[in-house]
Amino acid sequence: MEFDEVVRGRRSIRTFSTAEVSDELVEALIDCALRAPSSMNGQPWRFIVVRSAETKGRLAETKDKYCPPGKREYPAGFLRGAPVVVITCIERAKAFDRGIESGVLATGHLLLAAASRGLTGVYMSAYKTGAPEVADEIRTILGVPAEIDPITIVPIGYPGDVAGPKTVMSAAEVVFHEAFGRK
């Protein structure tokens, strides 16, 4: 699919069809994620592909347990309906103090790669700054060692719903020239 069409078509749909997503397809998405930039080209990524209903349920419970009051309009239970959930982790020793950034960049590639193949994925964080118990609980669920940081949780599947139109700002509204505030 054309790049701009992928970017414009990408949406965070939280209802999935029952259509299967093969391991080969998931590996193709991860291959795109591995082509993201990373600090010092450390490529610190590891991915966990989850299909177990029990594990999905535990991830959703943990997300909801630590969901701040202001974000409860987006409960995590929908991830139980995704055929596959990909957790992006980073190996701290290879991340050069930019593990979050590298993990987020790889996740951005993963989401676009999904959109390019007609899939939908939803970005969810796997840690919370100042609240290490969030990442720790996710580590326990997935057997992730202490030197690895889980960064994101992305439920992926074919959309089971059609997204309404998304309104984005225009570049003219958000661009300044030479200094902040200067149009």
Give residues 29-58 in contact with a second copy (rule: CB under 8 A): 30-32, 34-37, 39-40, 43, 45-52, 55
Site string for a second copy, 93-112 (x = CB under 8 A): ---xxx-xx--xx-xxx-xx
Q: How far from 20 is each of 17, 162, 170, CA to CA, in Å?
A: 8, 18, 36
Q: Please give the structure tokens belonging to residue 46.
A: 């590891």
Identify whether the C-beta of residue 64 lies closer than 8 Å to the C-beta of residue 76: yes
Give residues 108-147 in contact with a second copy (rule: CB under 8 A): 108-109, 111-113, 116, 123, 125, 129, 142-145
CB of 170 to a second copy, least distance (A): 8
Q: Between 18 and 145, name the residue whose CB sits nearer to a second copy.
A: 145
Amino acid identity, position 122: V
CB of 19 to a second copy, least distance (A): 20
CB of 17 to a second copy, least distance (A): 21
Which of 146, 164, 165, 178 is close enough to bind a second copy by CB under 8 A? 178
Number of residues forming the site for a second copy (CB under 8 A): 72
Identify whether the C-beta of residue 107 lies closer than 8 Å to the C-beta of residue 123: yes
Q: How far is Cα 16 from Cα 13, in angstroms, rounded to an integer?
A: 8
Residue 48 DSSP SS3:
strand
**Cα angle: 86, vertex 48, 56; to 5 degrees:** 60
CB of 30 to a second copy, least distance (A): 4
Give residues 11-30 in contact with a second copy (rule: CB under 8 A): 12, 26-28, 30
Site string for a second copy, 58-97 (x = CB under 8 A): ----------x-xx--x--------------x------xx
Residue with tokens 């994620």, as numbered in its chain: 33
Residue with tokens 């998304």, as numbered in its chain: 166
Identify whether the C-beta of residue 112 lies closer than 8 Å to the C-beta of residue 31: no
